[in-house]
Amino acid sequence: MSFQSLTMPVEIVPSETAENPNPRTAWEGCSVLLDINDGDRLVFARLTPSTTVKIGDKKLSLRPLVGCPFGSLFRVETGPKGAFLARVVSTPTADDAKGEEFCVKDEVRDNRALVDNNKAQGLSGEDIDEMRREGATGDDIVEALIANSSTFENKTSFSQEKYRLRKQKKYAPKVLLRRPFARRFLRVDTLSLLLSLANVSAYSDVLVVDMVGGIVTGAVAERLGGTGYVCNTHFGTKLYSTAIVRIFNSSSKVSCRSANPGRQASLEAIKSWKQNGFTSMIVAAPELDVESIIQDLLPLLSYSSPFAIYHQYLQVLPSRTHPHMQMSAFGGYILSGIRTCSSVDCAQGN
């Protein structure tokens, strides 16, 4: 095994230092995932005093999110100084119970007699603007629209719910504060299988080739939790982008095992890897040839170490390999295995 035989600069995964006494809440400087209107839009943002998000024609400050628990729900409201995000505390109401009871009743209405001629709504745009100036909330406007619709009561329960949701998304948009995780960027089954088949665990030394934006590198670092090392390497002189790693909100325990982007690993770490090899390897390089990857990187693994290679297309060997049946369709393919010691290697002491 030799590092000199490979023309690949080696770097430790970059990550940001993030200190927060309560990791369950969002803090200034952390990365967050904003789920707008139940998945209609997903926006990644870093919470700073000047960060804003645009919803509809409104630009909203994210300052109200600082200090709130992940999973908090916010609504767009209008105040004297303009639109802002207000936290919503959901509590069961009698109307909710009534609505659930109504949904289970037999449906006796249909929409055949309804005519969509844009004359059913009694409220005009000027009326809605006046309600906003008077301090009406988004929910108040939605209820007013329902009350002034001449066809709402004649709609089926499903049509009524669609109408209500459509108006809520327009006049009372919702924003769910979510914590960024690895599974937000890559399919759950694919990423989970990569980590599992490569046996990524505490105190592992993991070799990674990441050409999918840094998602695999960040997931490995997250799994290690500040123990062991993740070595993100690349072929040639051009570094592969690892921008997604910065979204993981890595703690100082994880960051202390990291170096700055583009910085080579320490001589001590390289010496250890040359002598002992890596304990596992994950490759996600759809643009590279799998056979050449194995020939170049497999000697860097210690014996009995597992590896997993993700690719969009893999040619399986006739009568010898088969697709992994736990993967759903169109998720790519994973080639996994364990490095063993051949008789030639054992005789040469490699």
Helix (H, G, I), strand (E, B) or coil at 272: helix
At the second CATH level, the architecture of 10-18+185-348 is 3-Layer(aba) Sandwich (3.40)
Of 238 and 161, the structure prediction assigns the larger pLDDT to: 161
What backbone torsions phi and psi does residue 290 show, to the nearest 5 degrees? -65, -40
Q: Which of 66-70, 153-157, 216-220, 322-326 has the lowest mean pLDDT?
A: 322-326
For residue 57, give the 3-state DSSP assignment: coil
| R_g (Cα) of the chain, nearest Å | 27
User: Is the pTM here over 0.85, yes or no?
Assistant: no
Tell me the pLDDT tens digit for each residue of 260-317: 444 567 788 888 888 899 999 999 887 788 888 888 899 999 999 999 998 877 655 5
Do the beta carbons of residue 280 and residue 198 sit within 8 Å? yes
* Dihedral sign, Cα of residue 81, residue 82, residue 83, residue 89: positive
- Domain ranges across the chain: 10-18+185-348, 25-69+71-178
What confidence tens digit (pLDDT) does each residue in 200-246 have? 999 999 999 988 888 888 889 888 887 888 888 888 777 777 777 77
Using a pLDDT cut of 70, give the percent of the chain over it: 72
